[in-house]
Amino acid sequence: MRAVHTHDLDTLPVSKLFWRYAIPSIAGMLVTGLYAIIDGVFVGHYVGSHGLAAINLAYPLVMLQVGLGAMISMGAATRIAIQQGAGQQDAARGTLLGAFLLLAGLGAAIPALGLPNIDSLLAWLQADVQPQVAEQARAYLWWMLAGAALTMGPMLVAYLARNDGRPRFATALTSLGAVLNIGLDYLFVARMGMGLEGAAIGTLIAEAVVLAIGLAYFFSRHANLRLRWSRLRVDRGALTAIASLGAPSLLMEFNLALLLFAHNRQLLVWGDDLSVAAYAVAGYSESLFTLVIHGLAVGMQPLLGHATGAGQPQRAKQALLHGLKVSLAIGAAALLAVQLFPAFIAGWYSDGSQELIDAGSRALRLHLLAMPLDGLVVVGCTALQAMALTRLALGVTIGKTFLLLPSLVLLPHALGVDGVWLAMPLVNTALGLLVAGLLWRELRRLSAQGGAAC
């Protein structure tokens, strides 16, 4: 079965393979992201603006956990794809086991370090500014730190199952998790009135189910890259390789967490907790777009990684071009929707407060002005990782922080709260143009290599 999967990657038209991987990947990412978005909808409707502010203030630490999960997932998926492209099946199996061991280690370390210091963490996040906000934020963060392995695990098993030639199974897993999360959020938040604590517990239960099924798959006869209890051999070199290849994904999430923290801080300086709640509205809406684009990029990754490992520059070029064209089209459509219907979108996260809808509408229109170029950056960084151009991907990711932090400090002095909203689109525009130049260079290189091979 493994040979059939590899043969398809070598021979089927790239356009067909692209959609075979991209569509389930996008659907899977959307479903995975619905964990957070559904939490936001229920919190907005049943807890109100204080709940939205609390979850937004606490979320940078959750994003760090997601970043560690992304590091393991992308690092392992990239290494396995390249190893399988080169015909190294046993090495790929060692990488798979190494990924699960990293998950277990980090899943134990995070609560051991975080839970004893939770009050200090809340103060650092400025989530203790108001009693109502502080109470909700503490409950949410306690559970999310305690269940760190469950936060990271579903992403890992979905990535690895997709790399194993099972994109539909990966999508089914994440869909199951989303459906469970919806039902549990309704039970704990809407019916039982448990607030953010209920939202966190519901999310962790759903993620536990997904992780358990995903782990069982890789020990079953259905897995192409199957693990057997009697032949568990860890490739010690895989641990550092996974961390190295996945580092750009970790840094990307770390940057997002840092920038969320910086936005929250500046919004509390130039606005108030309503401004933070409005940012949550914009952030949840942006995450829908980002999940689609990230799913597109993840679906493209096995094709690029395999073509790179197998020495097929023309197929790598075709996969990259498909990803870029689709991401720009999606970005343009999302930008149009946000500009035309901001109040409708903001209403998804409101308990009927017109004040929150008005503030959220303005945040949506200003903060999401550069979505097409934002998508280009995400696809571009993933493409660079998939082609093992890790340093370039790292440079782009780090560059975002270096540009955005000064923008967040300086622009509000001239524009007030609007300066906070506009900092991100201005930086995304600059980075998008830079990434476009890097990808153009890589496309020309692939074209030259393809021509030489002919």
Q: What is the pLDDT of residues 80-102, one digit of tens each?
A: 878 777 777 777 778 888 888 89
Are the beta carbons of 243 and 251 closer than 8 angstroms?
no
Q: Which residues contact 180 (CB under 8 A, 6 or more apart)?
A: 202, 205, 206, 209
Q: What per-residue confidence (pLDDT) applies to 418? A: 94
Are the beta carbons of 376 and 435 closer than 8 angstroms?
yes
Tokens standing for residue 132: 């109502």
Quick: pLDDT tens for 44-67.
888 887 888 888 899 899 989 989
Tokens standing for residue 314: 């023309």
Q: What per-residue confidence (pLDDT) applies to 77? A: 84
Nearest to 34 by CA among 160, 163, 193, 180: 180
Nearest to 73 by CA among 298, 379, 240, 396: 298
The amino acid present at 249, given as its one-letter code, is S
Element (H, E) at 365: helix 354-367
What is the residue-averaged pLDDT of the chain?
Answer: 84
Q: Cα-atom radius of gyration of the chain, to the nearest Å?
A: 21
The CA distance from 278 to 346, in Å, is: 8
Q: What per-residue confidence (pLDDT) applies to 4? A: 36
Q: Which residues contact 97 (CB under 8 A, 6 or more apart)?
A: 227, 232, 233, 234, 235, 238
Q: What per-residue confidence (pLDDT) applies to 409? A: 93
Q: Exposed, middle or buried, 345 (CB in 10 Å: 0-12/13-18/19+)?
A: buried
The CA distance from 339 to 333, in Å, is: 10
Which residue in the block uniquely carries the two structure tokens 């067909």? 16
Tokens standing for residue 424: 């991100």
Q: What per-residue confidence (pLDDT) applies to 3? A: 44
Global confidence as pTM: 0.71
Write out residues in the chain with pLDDT < 70, as ranges. 1-11, 14-15, 28, 31-35, 229-236, 388, 450-454
Q: Which residues contact 112 (CB under 8 A, 6 or more apart)?
A: none
The amino acid present at 74, given as its one-letter code, is M
Element (H, E) at 99: helix 89-114
The amino acid present at 279, given as its one-letter code, is Y
Tokens standing for residue 64: 């760090």
The amino acid present at 425, given as its one-letter code, is P
Are the beta carbons of 78 and 113 closer than 8 angstroms?
no
Are the beta carbons of 220 and 169 closer than 8 angstroms?
no
- Going by the DSSP 8-state scheme, the letter that residue 190 receives in this structure is I
Which residue in the block uniquely carries the two structure tokens 């189910």? 209
Q: What per-residue confidence (pLDDT) applies to 230? A: 58
Nearest to 264 by CA among 398, 374, 127, 397: 127
